[in-house]
Structure 1
């Protein structure tokens, strides 16, 4: 009886939540960068509230919004390699550099090209974090809470959106930029003390370090993590030297997983979600909802945060499929409603560009 109690340890999940939260703090700054255009574009249209010496053209406004997406397409190209070469932790930690540089460029901007450069650099951080954070969180989480921790990414990023939505209309350009630096600094300081992924360390034949990392994450003794370490090592041995990108097309299961994953992301992006989030306040300013544009924007931000905070509580109970199907149905009905009720036959999103 005594031996059984010694061998079996319950451990704790608290430190896994702590590590996942710290990693995702970078996404708060990413959300702030993505949502920054909503309250700032109206300020840049007014020479009195703009740090620039010119009023933006519509073409310049569109580039300020879209350059972050271009940078985000470049970020994953080097992040996957960096995560394998230097580790998940340092790939995530180093994203603090483009975030800090981006906000400093924004704060000191006196011309449009400098804002362009900042937006592109933000995009690099977006691609880096979206590549490495899910990888890190998936590898540090035990099965029972992997879904909850995985949903942190969306929750933290919409918290980031809400900050400029709620604060931006009521402060000046420079103040919002300085406020936006705070989450980056907290992220860099807190994540420095988090452990590396045990899977990565085992893959580099650093079993002692992997053991220490897993002991900290699970709240267990050396003896209590040996079985899980062996399981991780076994999985790595099965997929190590023979793995290549061509494996994606070698089995029906892999092909199905790939087109389901890519399809979900494609449908989400093709809904126009980024356009809405980037230009929320300007869109509401032309739709005459009966509310002030900034108030309407804050309401949307709050709804996003509430929905994202609910997800970690229910995802491991209800499953991923139902939580994808219900929002997809609501999103479809909303888009249909926009097209039926807006006077312009084109969605009001596009109407923003042609008015």
Structure 2
């Protein structure tokens, strides 16, 4: 048993899911930050195009295009660094480190007086986003129990979508600086809450910290007997070809080279290859269908379509607006799709 268990800290034989829910809550804040990043461009570009904008732009077509593309530019460089970090400093530390550029980017946005500062801040934000998107699936998969893994990961994905929705709904009324302050506060809140979350037992076992890995599992599962899952962690590490060290550094995994073995299994096992192809196709379709452009220019697109909605009449219900929007959008004079 781990040291915490010996002191009776986790005395429930049936276990508790409290820490798994706490991890979900903290990571949900982090994923909502990513949603904020994704949804920030659209209302901001609309504000920058306004003559009353605090930040003046001299070449809207070029500068706003760079602003929209900056997030993806930073995102492209992040996966390389995630590969270097995740197995060296750990999943938790990598997650915390990924939030540092995020806080800095919002700080730059709050104090920005020039469009180039906004572009630089968005590149930093994209780098942070790329690191988080690479680290969090690994951390979640190694932290959550098999019974709750799918459900809890769905909650975090919902938190991401909530972050996008919040930007679309609130940012147009707050302005660039106020929105930046709020989003920076959310990012700092994530850093503070996630600081107290446990490290992945898989990483702790991989670097030879067996006692700490057992203690982390006991905390996450809320019970003292985690021997079966601990053995599963060891077996998984051996199968993946990771360095497996005992607490005294004597026990070593003597399988063939870990990275080459993993790549070999990825392309030679039918199920793995099928999953890889499906994942790549979905990613390609997502990027090539214009998802990023639509997210960045959503407000501009609907504004140019004269499809703005007014909600200033509380005396009528949703059915009135549904009928009005339908008639307006499909009228012969509407710039939208005519029947």
Q: Is the TM value for this pair above 0.5?
A: yes
Say if 2:55 and 2:115, in contact at 8 Å, map to a contact too. no
Q: In structure 1, what is the Cα distance between the partners aligned to 2:337 and 2:207?
A: 57
Asked if 1:16 corresponds to 2:34, the answer is no
> How large is the RMSD of aligned CA atoms in angstroms?
2.2
Number of equivalenced pairs = 288
Instruction: Select the structure that is richer in helix.
Output: 1
Asked if 1:263 corresponds to 2:281, the answer is yes
Give the TM-score, by structure 1 length: 0.76
Aligned to 2:234: 233
Aligned to 2:202: 199
Asked if 1:220 corresponds to 2:223, the answer is yes
Say if 1:49 and 1:173, in contact at 8 Å, map to a contact too. no
Say if 2:12 and 2:222, in contact at 8 Å, map to a contact too. no
Q: Judging changes above 3 Å, is the alpha-carbon distance between structure 1 residues 8 and 230 closer, same or farther for their aligned structure 2 residues? A: farther
Asked if 1:84 corresponds to 2:84, the answer is no
Q: In structure 2, what is the Cα distance between the partners aligned to 1:133 and 1:59?
A: 34
- In structure 1, list runs of 5 or more residues that go unmatched: 1-6, 294-298, 300-340, 344-355
How far residue 80 of structure 1 moved from its aligned partner, in angstroms, is 2.1
- Which one of the candidate residues 46, 53, 58 is aligned to 1:49? 53
- In structure 2, list runs of 5 or more residues that go unmatched: 1-10, 242-254, 312-317, 319-335
Q: CA offsets per residue over residues 192-224 of structure 1, 9 Å max, x none?
A: 000000111111111100011111110111xx1
Q: In structure 2, what is the Cα distance between the partners aligned to 1:205 and 1:14?
A: 27
Q: Secondary structure at the match of 2:187?
A: helix
Q: CA offsets per residue over residues 155-209 of structure 1, 9 Å max, x none?
A: 1211111222122111232111111111101100000000000111111111100
Q: In structure 2, what is the Cα distance between the partners aligned to 1:290 and 1:239?
A: 53
Give the TM-score, by structure 2 length: 0.80
Q: Judging changes above 3 Å, is the alpha-carbon distance between structure 1 residues 19 and 285 closer, same or farther for their aligned structure 2 residues? A: same
Q: Judging changes above 3 Å, is the alpha-carbon distance between structure 1 residues 29 and 41 closer, same or farther for their aligned structure 2 residues? A: same
Q: In structure 2, what is the Cα distance between the partners aligned to 1:161 and 1:106?
A: 18
The structure with the larger Rg is: 2
Q: Secondary structure at the match of 1:143?
A: coil
1:247-326 equivalence runs, <5 A: 247=264, 248-289=266-307, 291-292=309-310
Q: In structure 1, what is the Cα distance between the partners aligned to 2:142 and 2:238?
A: 16
Say if 1:44 and 1:55, in contact at 8 Å, map to a contact too. no
Q: In structure 2, what is the Cα distance between the partners aligned to 1:23 and 1:171?
A: 26
How far residue 253 of structure 1 moved from its aligned partner, in angstroms, is 2.7
